[in-house]
């Protein structure tokens, strides 16, 4: 799939799941009447899980936006295990009620992509960053800064989807992937950046500013 992606109200990844849930709910309604209410509730949950709203993109080429909806569970100095450098790590945890579409945090080029198989421990735990199944992108911004964006599977998430390859260009807020059912996204940002996110903050993909990159990196 192209890196560009039209924003349907319901993510394409969810169409088969939504269709199946609605068909089952309709059949249950026909067979058992109002007793089918819990099944309709489950169908509604599937529908809300795969929602994929368009977002306005704030800032400029120095702006780092959230790659996911969720809650900030880490803001700390850490070693970027992909680029072998000291960086600031910002982690966003997505629960099953968050939008699970992932979007580029910066304007830049995909310099490299890594995939690592792994475990499926609770994505809210720090060890998930290094032990769970994950997909990492090295993004070099138009200003020359390096940002690493890592999709991490969670306890329930069993499918990481990434639609970009090395050499692709991404615009800030552009959709590049999806993770099904609970997970996290880690960002490794240059130490010179000014971090605006704080531990515990609720953030939204594309529309929440995470950091501002320095003029010189």
CB 4 within 8 A of CB 163: no
* Token digits of residue 131: 């032990």
Cβ-count burial 54-74 (b if 16+ within 10 Å, e if not): ebebeeeebbbbbbbbbbbbb
CB 197 within 8 A of CB 210: yes
Query: How many CA within 13 A on the CB side of residue 140?
Result: 9
Which residues 6+ apart lie within 8 Å of 36 measured at CB?
25, 28, 29
* Token digits of residue 196: 């605006």
Query: How many CA within 13 A on the CB side of residue 141?
Result: 27
| Given 117, 183, 192, 207, the catalytic residue | 183
Pairing mode of beta strands 134-141, 169-170: unpaired
Strand order in the sheet with 160-162: 101-103, 175-179, 160-162
State residue 100 phi and psi, 5-degree precision: -110, 10
Does the active-site annotation cover 36? no
Catalytic positions are: 183
């Amino acid at each position: 799939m192209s890196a560009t992606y039209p924003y349907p109200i319901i993510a394409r990844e969810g169409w088969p799941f939504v269709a199946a849930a609605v068909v089952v709910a309709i059949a249950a309604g026909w067979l058992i009447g109002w007793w089918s209410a819990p099944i309709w509730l489950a169908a509604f949950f599937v529908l809300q899980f795969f929602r994929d709203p368009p977002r306005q993109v704030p800032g400029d080429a120095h702006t780092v936006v959230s790659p996911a909806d969720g809650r900030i569970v880490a803001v700390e100095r850490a070693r970027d295990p992909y680029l072998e450098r000291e960086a600031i790590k910002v982690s966003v945890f997505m629960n099953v009620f968050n939008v699970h579409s992932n979007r580029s945090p910066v304007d830049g080029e995909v310099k490299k992509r890594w995939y690592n198989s792994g475990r499926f421990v609770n994505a809210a735990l720090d060890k998930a960053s290094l032990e769970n199944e994950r997909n990492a992108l090295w993004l070099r911004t138009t200003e020359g800064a390096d940002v690493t964006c890592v999709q991490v599977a969670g306890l329930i998430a069993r499918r990481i989807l990434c639609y970009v390859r090395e050499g692709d260009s991404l615009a800030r807020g552009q959709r590049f992937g999806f993770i099904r059912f609970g997970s996290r996204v880690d960002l490794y940002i240059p130490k010179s950046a000014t971090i605006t996110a704080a531990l515990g903050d609720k953030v939204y993909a594309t529309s929440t500013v995470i950091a501002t990159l320095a003029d010189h990196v």
